Amino acid sequence: MDVLFWQLVHLLIRDGYRIARMSERGDEIWLESGHWRSPTLVRLVRADFDWSRSLRLDIEYTWQFIRQMNGRKIGKGGRVVNVYVMAYPPVDDWEFLIAEPLPLSGAAGGAFHTLLIHSGNTGEMLPRLEEMTGSPLRPAPLVGEADPFAVAERLKHEVLTEWRRQREEERRIFEYGKPVFTRLLIIVQVAMFLILEWSGGSTDPSVLIRYGAKFNPLIEMGEWWRFLTPMFLHIGFLHLLTNTFALYYLGWTVERLYGSLRFLLIYTTAGFFGTLASFLFTPSISAGASGAIFGLFGALLYFGTVYRHLFFRTMGMNVISLIVVNLLFGLLVPGIDNAGHIGGLIGGFLAAGAVHLPKRAAWRRQMKALVAAALLAAAGLWAGFR
């Protein structure tokens, strides 16, 4: 049964599952599928329970653990498959414990299934596990006089090697680039703020217009550079302070994920889309890096479409919560250019899709994002200048 346990882990990994969690002894392994719409989380346990009470307590503990996650790892229509691999089943009645799946709160349509595989029912249980995981699970029988302990150790070594490789790959994803342009952009916007203050004040409309703030009449007269220059200007010290902190934290993350050149393209594209949206929907003078910063949120959302599980395991819920809170804040508080924020968010997402992530080219997907960004920009400019 040790061999069967590690064979199942090995086969699931081969079919696209990744190890999400492993106990120190290696007798409990959580694996998650890469399916977007109907994800599956599999818990494999190599244990022998003499009595059904121990089995019931472990099932209840695991079910409560999953419920506390509020379905964030499971998603709509997903499932958890809790699998015990045993040499023999409990000596008393245990079948009723796994007869029906348990519901999952926070995961609409989701269910918590339990399977118990022992030496006497593998032929019956493996097809059920195949159906639940969507993976072909046909463990190879031991050949001749092969030592089962040696085979189990070899399979365990292969699984652990793959797990270390996955963890190293994930670590490298977050350390691809160095935050060169993040630092440079912070220096530029602080320098421009000091220039504005020296020239008469960063809250003076005439000073802002002179240095390139978004001013619709001048853009309509052909000063197209005002689609880009507002992202370097800020109105008042508090505006500068909040955007500088946001750029520092978000820029640091996005530039390390995408690399410096991709980051710069995402940032400037988002800034352009933010100003374009403000030009279309807000007649007042505006300035600030908020649209470009929301574009960094968009780039993180795009990262979540490529590495869904990694995104939600690390930053996903925080990113989504911050976007929602900031957009609601912009709707409730007067004077905030929410159109620019939404435009920047869309622009950043599309720009991230066009450049994609380093070392993971997806030309069809990138072309779609590029075409969508170009058409959206062309439609916005046409609507603004007609």
**Residues with catalytic annotation?**
290, 341
Q: Residue 43: what are its φ and ψ, rounded to 5°?
A: -110, 120
Amino acid at 179: P
**Long-range interactions of 350-354: CB distance < 8 A, separation 24+:** 350/269, 350/273, 350/298, 350/376, 351/265, 351/266, 351/269, 351/270, 351/295, 351/298, 351/299, 352/258, 352/262, 352/266, 352/298, 352/299, 352/302, 352/303, 353/302
Radius of gyration in angstroms for the set of CA atoms belonging to the chain, rounded to a whole number: 27
**CB burial of residue 220 (10 Å; 0-12, 13-18, 19+):** exposed
What separation in angstroms does the CA of 316 have from each of 72, 262, 301, 311? Answer: 10, 21, 8, 5
CB 339 within 8 A of CB 282: yes
